[in-house]
Structure 1
Protein backbone atom coordinates (compact mmCIF):
# COMPACT_ATOMS: atom_id res chain seq x y z
CA UNK A 1 0.00 0.00 0.00
CA UNK A 2 2.86 2.39 0.87
CA UNK A 3 4.54 1.60 -2.46
CA UNK A 4 1.34 2.38 -4.36
CA UNK A 5 0.90 5.65 -2.44
CA UNK A 6 4.54 6.59 -3.08
CA UNK A 7 4.20 5.83 -6.81
CA UNK A 8 1.06 7.95 -7.06
CA UNK A 9 2.75 10.79 -5.15
CA UNK A 10 5.79 10.74 -7.42
CA UNK A 11 3.57 10.65 -10.53
CA UNK A 12 1.54 13.60 -9.21
CA UNK A 13 4.73 15.54 -8.53
CA UNK A 14 6.08 14.86 -12.04
CA UNK A 15 2.78 15.90 -13.64
CA UNK A 16 2.72 19.07 -11.58
CA UNK A 17 6.18 20.06 -12.80
CA UNK A 18 5.17 19.24 -16.38
CA UNK A 19 2.12 21.48 -16.18
CA UNK A 20 4.13 24.31 -14.62
CA UNK A 21 6.80 23.87 -17.29
CA UNK A 22 4.19 24.08 -20.08
CA UNK A 23 2.70 27.22 -18.57
CA UNK A 24 6.10 28.90 -18.44
CA UNK A 25 6.85 28.02 -22.06
CA UNK A 26 3.44 29.24 -23.20
CA UNK A 27 3.86 32.51 -21.37
CA UNK A 28 7.28 33.08 -22.90
CA UNK A 29 6.22 32.08 -26.42
CA UNK A 30 3.25 34.43 -26.43
CA UNK A 31 4.62 37.43 -24.59
CA UNK A 32 2.10 40.21 -25.17
CA UNK A 33 4.11 42.98 -23.52
CA UNK A 34 4.16 44.88 -26.83
CA UNK A 35 1.05 43.79 -28.74
CA UNK A 36 0.87 44.54 -32.46
CA UNK A 37 -2.29 45.60 -34.22
CA UNK A 38 -3.18 43.23 -37.06
CA UNK A 39 -3.15 44.82 -40.53
CA UNK A 40 -5.72 43.03 -42.72
CA UNK A 41 -5.57 43.15 -46.52
CA UNK A 42 -8.35 42.20 -48.92
CA UNK A 43 -7.25 41.55 -52.50
CA UNK A 44 -10.83 41.14 -53.75
CA UNK A 45 -12.95 42.75 -51.01
CA UNK A 46 -16.39 41.70 -52.28
CA UNK A 47 -15.38 38.09 -52.92
CA UNK A 48 -13.53 37.77 -49.62
CA UNK A 49 -16.40 39.28 -47.64
CA UNK A 50 -18.86 36.93 -49.37
CA UNK A 51 -16.76 33.86 -48.50
CA UNK A 52 -15.76 35.17 -45.06
CA UNK A 53 -11.98 35.52 -45.08
CA UNK A 54 -9.17 38.06 -45.40
CA UNK A 55 -6.54 37.35 -48.00
CA UNK A 56 -3.69 38.43 -45.73
CA UNK A 57 -2.94 39.67 -42.26
CA UNK A 58 0.28 41.24 -41.02
CA UNK A 59 1.18 41.21 -37.35
CA UNK A 60 4.57 42.71 -36.57
CA UNK A 61 7.11 41.21 -38.97
CA UNK A 62 4.91 38.23 -39.87
CA UNK A 63 2.40 38.01 -42.70
CA UNK A 64 0.01 35.11 -43.27
CA UNK A 65 -1.44 34.89 -46.77
CA UNK A 66 -4.52 32.78 -47.48
CA UNK A 67 -4.42 30.33 -50.32
CA UNK A 68 -4.45 31.96 -53.74
CA UNK A 69 -6.47 30.30 -56.49
CA UNK A 70 -6.99 31.14 -60.14
CA UNK A 71 -9.99 33.51 -60.11
CA UNK A 72 -11.07 36.83 -61.57
CA UNK A 73 -12.10 39.88 -59.55
CA UNK A 74 -15.70 38.62 -59.34
CA UNK A 75 -14.59 35.28 -57.88
CA UNK A 76 -15.09 33.23 -61.04
CA UNK A 77 -12.56 30.47 -61.79
CA UNK A 78 -10.11 31.26 -64.60
CA UNK A 79 -7.88 29.08 -66.78
CA UNK A 80 -10.21 26.12 -66.29
CA UNK A 81 -8.43 22.86 -67.11
CA UNK A 82 -5.05 24.62 -67.64
CA UNK A 83 -2.91 23.69 -64.65
CA UNK A 84 0.14 25.72 -65.64
CA UNK A 85 -1.88 28.91 -66.17
CA UNK A 86 -3.73 28.41 -62.89
CA UNK A 87 -0.37 28.12 -61.13
CA UNK A 88 0.88 31.32 -62.79
CA UNK A 89 -2.36 33.11 -61.82
CA UNK A 90 -1.88 32.06 -58.18
CA UNK A 91 1.67 33.44 -58.09
CA UNK A 92 0.53 36.67 -59.81
CA UNK A 93 -2.04 37.25 -57.05
CA UNK A 94 0.48 36.37 -54.36
CA UNK A 95 2.92 38.87 -55.89
CA UNK A 96 0.27 41.62 -55.65
CA UNK A 97 -0.24 40.86 -51.97
CA UNK A 98 3.50 40.75 -51.26
CA UNK A 99 3.95 44.12 -53.00
CA UNK A 100 1.14 45.61 -50.88
CA UNK A 101 3.29 44.84 -47.83
CA UNK A 102 6.54 45.94 -49.59
CA UNK A 103 7.75 42.35 -49.76
CA UNK A 104 9.00 39.98 -52.45
CA UNK A 105 9.13 36.22 -52.78
CA UNK A 106 12.58 36.45 -51.11
CA UNK A 107 10.71 37.25 -47.87
CA UNK A 108 8.59 34.08 -48.03
CA UNK A 109 9.55 31.59 -45.33
CA UNK A 110 6.82 28.99 -45.90
CA UNK A 111 4.83 27.96 -48.95
CA UNK A 112 2.11 25.31 -48.87
CA UNK A 113 0.74 24.03 -52.16
CA UNK A 114 -2.57 22.19 -52.32
CA UNK A 115 -3.41 20.44 -55.58
CA UNK A 116 -6.03 18.09 -56.91
CA UNK A 117 -3.45 16.67 -59.34
CA UNK A 118 0.00 16.10 -57.86
CA UNK A 119 1.46 14.65 -61.06
CA UNK A 120 0.57 17.85 -62.97
CA UNK A 121 2.04 19.95 -60.17
CA UNK A 122 5.29 17.97 -60.30
CA UNK A 123 5.32 18.39 -64.08
CA UNK A 124 5.15 22.19 -63.68
CA UNK A 125 6.97 22.65 -60.35
CA UNK A 126 10.09 23.92 -62.13
CA UNK A 127 8.17 27.16 -62.78
CA UNK A 128 8.83 27.95 -59.12
CA UNK A 129 12.48 28.70 -60.02
CA UNK A 130 11.16 31.81 -61.80
CA UNK A 131 9.41 32.83 -58.57
CA UNK A 132 12.05 31.95 -55.98
CA UNK A 133 15.29 33.25 -57.50
CA UNK A 134 17.52 33.23 -54.39
CA UNK A 135 16.20 30.39 -52.22
CA UNK A 136 13.17 28.21 -51.72
CA UNK A 137 11.03 28.53 -48.59
CA UNK A 138 10.02 25.63 -46.37
CA UNK A 139 6.61 24.17 -46.94
CA UNK A 140 4.49 21.24 -47.96
CA UNK A 141 3.00 19.93 -51.17
CA UNK A 142 -0.34 18.29 -50.49
CA UNK A 143 -2.55 16.30 -52.83
CA UNK A 144 -6.20 16.92 -51.95
CA UNK A 145 -9.49 15.52 -53.17
CA UNK A 146 -10.98 18.93 -53.95
CA UNK A 147 -10.56 22.67 -53.41
CA UNK A 148 -13.22 25.36 -52.80
CA UNK A 149 -14.62 25.11 -56.35
CA UNK A 150 -14.31 22.08 -58.64
CA UNK A 151 -12.54 24.13 -61.35
CA UNK A 152 -9.61 24.97 -59.04
CA UNK A 153 -6.66 22.62 -59.50
CA UNK A 154 -4.11 24.39 -57.29
CA UNK A 155 -4.07 26.66 -54.24
CA UNK A 156 -0.94 28.26 -52.77
CA UNK A 157 -0.65 29.87 -49.34
CA UNK A 158 2.33 31.71 -47.90
CA UNK A 159 3.91 32.81 -44.65
CA UNK A 160 6.25 35.79 -44.79
CA UNK A 161 8.79 37.25 -42.42
CA UNK A 162 9.92 40.81 -43.16
CA UNK A 163 12.64 42.27 -40.97
CA UNK A 164 11.91 45.97 -40.48
Structure 2
Protein backbone atom coordinates (compact mmCIF):
# COMPACT_ATOMS: atom_id res chain seq x y z
CA UNK A 1 0.00 0.00 0.00
CA UNK A 2 1.09 3.50 -0.75
CA UNK A 3 1.40 6.12 1.98
CA UNK A 4 0.93 9.81 1.24
CA UNK A 5 1.37 12.58 3.82
CA UNK A 6 -1.04 15.46 3.33
CA UNK A 7 0.33 18.74 4.74
CA UNK A 8 -1.87 21.41 6.24
CA UNK A 9 -1.28 24.94 7.41
CA UNK A 10 -0.84 24.40 11.14
CA UNK A 11 2.20 26.15 12.56
CA UNK A 12 2.64 23.10 14.81
CA UNK A 13 3.24 20.60 11.97
CA UNK A 14 6.98 21.17 11.52
CA UNK A 15 7.59 21.64 15.24
CA UNK A 16 5.84 18.45 16.35
CA UNK A 17 6.55 16.49 13.17
CA UNK A 18 3.08 15.51 11.94
CA UNK A 19 0.92 15.78 8.83
CA UNK A 20 -2.61 17.17 8.70
CA UNK A 21 -3.64 13.82 7.25
CA UNK A 22 -2.11 10.55 6.13
CA UNK A 23 -3.54 8.52 3.28
CA UNK A 24 -2.77 4.81 3.24
CA UNK A 25 -4.41 2.99 0.35
CA UNK A 26 -7.99 4.21 0.28
CA UNK A 27 -8.10 5.25 3.96
CA UNK A 28 -7.43 8.75 5.27
CA UNK A 29 -6.61 9.56 8.87
CA UNK A 30 -6.94 13.27 9.72
CA UNK A 31 -4.88 14.43 12.70
CA UNK A 32 -6.36 16.25 15.64
CA UNK A 33 -7.46 19.53 14.12
CA UNK A 34 -7.72 22.64 16.26
CA UNK A 35 -9.64 25.78 15.32
CA UNK A 36 -6.64 27.61 13.84
CA UNK A 37 -7.96 30.93 12.59
CA UNK A 38 -10.91 30.96 14.98
CA UNK A 39 -8.85 30.77 18.17
CA UNK A 40 -10.95 33.40 19.95
CA UNK A 41 -14.33 32.30 18.58
CA UNK A 42 -17.11 30.69 20.58
CA UNK A 43 -17.47 26.91 20.60
CA UNK A 44 -19.73 26.86 17.53
CA UNK A 45 -17.28 28.96 15.52
CA UNK A 46 -14.35 26.84 16.67
CA UNK A 47 -16.13 23.60 15.80
CA UNK A 48 -17.05 24.97 12.37
CA UNK A 49 -13.42 25.95 11.77
CA UNK A 50 -12.09 22.52 12.82
CA UNK A 51 -14.50 20.78 10.47
CA UNK A 52 -13.77 23.20 7.62
CA UNK A 53 -10.06 22.44 7.97
CA UNK A 54 -10.87 18.73 7.96
CA UNK A 55 -12.95 19.17 4.77
CA UNK A 56 -9.92 20.78 3.10
CA UNK A 57 -7.59 18.01 4.26
CA UNK A 58 -9.97 15.36 2.95
CA UNK A 59 -10.23 17.11 -0.40
CA UNK A 60 -6.43 17.35 -0.62
CA UNK A 61 -6.23 13.61 0.10
CA UNK A 62 -8.79 12.73 -2.60
CA UNK A 63 -11.88 12.22 -0.45
CA UNK A 64 -14.73 14.28 0.99
CA UNK A 65 -16.77 14.81 4.13
CA UNK A 66 -19.37 12.33 2.84
CA UNK A 67 -16.84 9.52 3.25
CA UNK A 68 -15.99 10.13 6.92
CA UNK A 69 -16.75 7.05 9.00
CA UNK A 70 -15.29 8.11 12.39
CA UNK A 71 -14.80 11.35 14.33
CA UNK A 72 -13.35 12.11 17.75
CA UNK A 73 -14.07 15.42 19.48
CA UNK A 74 -12.03 16.66 22.42
CA UNK A 75 -13.73 19.41 24.42
CA UNK A 76 -12.26 21.45 27.26
CA UNK A 77 -15.64 22.48 28.72
CA UNK A 78 -18.43 19.97 29.39
CA UNK A 79 -21.12 22.59 28.79
CA UNK A 80 -19.92 22.98 25.16
CA UNK A 81 -21.07 19.48 24.15
CA UNK A 82 -24.45 20.54 22.78
CA UNK A 83 -23.27 23.52 20.70
CA UNK A 84 -20.34 21.49 19.32
CA UNK A 85 -22.68 18.58 18.65
CA UNK A 86 -25.06 20.79 16.67
CA UNK A 87 -22.27 21.96 14.37
CA UNK A 88 -21.03 18.37 14.01
CA UNK A 89 -24.62 17.40 13.15
CA UNK A 90 -24.77 20.09 10.47
CA UNK A 91 -21.81 18.47 8.72
CA UNK A 92 -22.75 14.83 9.39
CA UNK A 93 -26.53 14.58 9.87
CA UNK A 94 -26.97 12.37 6.81
CA UNK A 95 -23.92 10.11 6.97
CA UNK A 96 -23.77 9.84 10.78
CA UNK A 97 -20.24 8.53 11.38
CA UNK A 98 -19.24 6.72 14.53
CA UNK A 99 -18.35 9.55 16.89
CA UNK A 100 -16.75 10.07 20.27
CA UNK A 101 -16.91 13.21 22.40
CA UNK A 102 -14.54 13.45 25.36
CA UNK A 103 -13.91 16.23 27.85
CA UNK A 104 -10.24 16.84 28.60
CA UNK A 105 -8.40 19.32 30.80
CA UNK A 106 -6.82 21.47 28.07
CA UNK A 107 -5.54 21.60 24.51
CA UNK A 108 -2.25 22.77 23.01
CA UNK A 109 -3.53 26.33 22.57
CA UNK A 110 -5.27 27.51 25.76
CA UNK A 111 -7.89 29.47 23.75
CA UNK A 112 -9.07 26.33 21.94
CA UNK A 113 -12.21 24.71 23.31
CA UNK A 114 -12.27 21.82 20.82
CA UNK A 115 -10.06 19.65 18.65
CA UNK A 116 -11.42 17.08 16.17
CA UNK A 117 -9.97 13.99 14.45
CA UNK A 118 -11.55 12.18 11.51
CA UNK A 119 -11.13 8.98 9.53
CA UNK A 120 -12.46 8.61 6.00
CA UNK A 121 -12.11 6.43 2.94
CA UNK A 122 -11.93 6.91 -0.79
CA UNK A 123 -14.45 4.77 -2.64
CA UNK A 124 -13.04 2.94 -5.63
RMSD over aligned CA atoms reads 1.7
**CA shift at 1:46, angstroms?**
5.2
Q: Structure 1: any 5+ residue segments left out of the alignment?
A: 1-35, 73-77
Are positions 1:41 and 2:6 aligned together? yes
Give the number of the structure whose residues are more often strand, by fraction: 2
- TM alignment of 1:1-164, pairs within 5 A: 36-44=1-9, 47-72=12-37, 78-80=38-40, 82-164=42-124
Residue 70 of structure 1 and its aligned partner are, at CA, apart by: 1.0
Residue segments in structure 2 that go unaligned for 5+ positions in a row: none
Deviates most, 130-139 or 110-119: 130-139
TM-score, normalised on structure 1? 0.69
Which consecutive segments of 4 or more residues in structure 1 shift more than 4 A?
Answer: none
- In the alignment, the residues of structure 2 paired with residue 103 and residue 93 of structure 1 have an alpha-carbon distance, to the nearest angstrom, of 13
How many residues align? The count is 124
- Of 114-123 and 104-113, the range deviating more from structure 2: 114-123
**Distance in 2 between residues matched to 1:45 and 1:154, nearest whole Å:** 15
Q: Distance in 2 between matches of 1:55 and 1:125?
A: 22
TM-score, length of structure 2 as denominator length: 0.90
SS in 2 for 1:89: helix
